[in-house]
Amino acid sequence: MGKDVSQATFSREDRARYRQKVRRCLDVFALMLHDFRFDADRPTTGLEIELNLIDGEAQPAMRNAEVLADLADPSFQTELGQFNLEINVRPRLIAGHGFDEYERDVSASLAHANERAHKHDAQLVLIGILPTLTQAHTVLDNISANPRYRVLNEQIITARGEDMFLDIRGPERLQAYTDSIVPEAACTSVQFHLQVAPEDFACYWNASQAIAGIQVALGANSPYLFGRQLWSETRIVLFEQATDTRPDELKAQGVRPRVWFGERWITSIFDLFEENVRYFPPLLAITEDEDPVEVLHNGGVPHLGELRLHNGTVYRWNRPVYDVMNGRPHLRVENRVLPSGPTVVDLLANAAFYFGLVRELAEADRPIWTQLTFSAAEQNFHTAARDGIASSLWWPRFGEMRVTDLVLEKLLPKAYDGLDRFGVDPSTRDRLLGVIEARCVERRNGAVWQTETVRALERDRNLDRIAALREMLRRYSVNQADNEPVHTWPIG
């Protein structure tokens, strides 16, 4: 959703021209993969962190425009809802003390943004879904002012041809209709970016898919939506349902959803872009002046704007990214499975676990994806989203086992080895992966802390659900400011 959009409607001619241009970009991309030099000398990483704004009553604060205007910081941007912000953290290497630099920079940026938010009677919260959010908050009037969000909403709703229906079953059940994609604004996530060489991309994407369920189980932080306790990581199923362009008939025909885990292991990044073009009609038929064939013929670097825009409207949990920086093209895996929060240190512990484990698995002599079926990886992903850190997942040679045992016995040592391959300082490595280890030992992540706290407030203080959620979020915000890992937070 990162591209500004000025065009509000698209004609048949617009769509035909766009489709032709996307295919032309795809052909050029194929040529580049064979003959072009991509920037892959050093494995640069990046972070995008989505945030929520709340007011003094712990309710969503529809003030992102005011806060952004006061901030005047290009690293902060709007997101879908007026109660959302996003920070794009400067890319860097994680060798040496890279994670420590991330922590200092993110903490400083958030403190500065919070100071500005306070001027507008708001504060920032890093959390997967705001527990005080209600369906009354997720209406079209509360969509962010940038025109691209309304255009995208119109195109998705038009493609579907009817209202969205949310049906999520967990410990409690939510059923709700919505006439817009704004409920998707409830989903606030963190994205990890890893730059890789073209010849290595398939290994890193496959490895990322294989461990997606593990990541979600450990990092779940979204157990409540519209006052109901649903999945441990409700963000996953909500995102899948709130942006689904398919009516029931197309689902029955097996048409692919735009929020997509995928259906197979790949052999090249081209597989993913080709699937995008083959399976998904355009939502935003915006063409640019660049002729990628001419640019390539003249020795330049094509930006492939249409291909990139189309890729941005197919919501893979691990997304391929083609980008150009300083005149050189590069490829990235964008890992999108985790919620925001609970703290900066928790977030960076999740990052360290992901970067370390994915590198070790991607460069292993016997790839994990030759031992794990793709359907098992997808099943692990949705089981983990539902059950969180209490999940039992399937893993080669181990069969089905508790995810905490799997991480402690099998995967955490691999994450250590992977961070060593990156050259991460041992003290930084030990500190961050120690958070993951303790989280597994305590079997407590953000989702567990939230549900246990609400249960204690309902039981011990006789609060109703709405009051308990508000008090829980207030305590969550206080704990978050201390930046101590969530497994150490007190209950009650």
- The dihedral through the CA atoms of 417, 191, 122, 238 has a sign that is negative
Amino acid at 216: V
Digit-coded pLDDT (tens) for 18-71: 999 999 999 999 999 998 889 988 889 999 999 999 999 999 999 999 999 999
What is the structure's pLDDT at 7? 58
Say yes or no to pLDDT of 9 above 80.
Answer: no
Alpha-carbon distance of 214 to 204, in angstroms, equals 16
Digit-coded pLDDT (tens) for 81-131: 999 999 999 999 999 999 999 999 999 999 999 999 999 999 999 999 999
Output 9 or 14, whichever has higher pLDDT: 14
- Averaged confidence pLDDT in the chain: 95
The pTM score is: 0.96
- Pair 123, 136: CB distance under 8 Å: no
Mean pLDDT over 433-443 rounds to 98
What is the structure's pLDDT at 77? 93
- Pair 247, 415: CB distance under 8 Å: no
Alpha-carbon distance of 115 to 444, in angstroms, equals 30
What is the structure's pLDDT at 12? 86
Digit-coded pLDDT (tens) for 269-320: 999 999 999 999 998 989 999 999 999 999 999 999 999 999 999 999 999 9
Mean pLDDT over 408-431 rounds to 98
Say yes or no to pLDDT of 408 above 70.
Answer: yes
List the one residue out of 151, 150, 142, 138 whose CA is nearest residue 177.
Answer: 138
What is the structure's pLDDT at 1? 39
Say yes or no to pLDDT of 364 above 90.
Answer: yes
3-class secondary structure for the chain? CCCCCCCCCCCHHHHHHHHHHHHHHHHHHHHHHHHCCCCCCCCCEEEEEEEEEECCCCCECCCHHHHHHHHCCCCEEECCECCEEEEEEEEECCCECHHHHHHHHHHHHHHHHHHHHHCCCCEEECCCCCCCCCHHHCCHHHECCCHHHHHHHHHHHHHHCCCEEEEEECCCEEEEEECCCHHHHHCCEEEEEEEECHHHHHHHHHHHHHHHHHHHHHHCCECEECCEECCCEHHHHHHHHHCCCCCHHHHHCCCCCCEECCCCCCCCHHHHHHHHHHHCCCCCCCCCCCCHHHHHHCCCCCCCHHHHHHHCCCEECEEEEEEEECCEEEEEEEEEEEECCCCHHHHHHHHHHHHHHHHHHHCCCCCHHHCCCHHHHHHHHHHHHHHHHHCEEEECCCEEEEHHHHHHHHHHHHHHHHHHHHCECHHHHHHHHHHHHHHHHHCCCHHHHHHHHHHHHHHHCCCCHHHHHHHHHHHHHHHHHHCCCHHHCCCC
Say yes or no to pLDDT of 8 above 80.
Answer: no
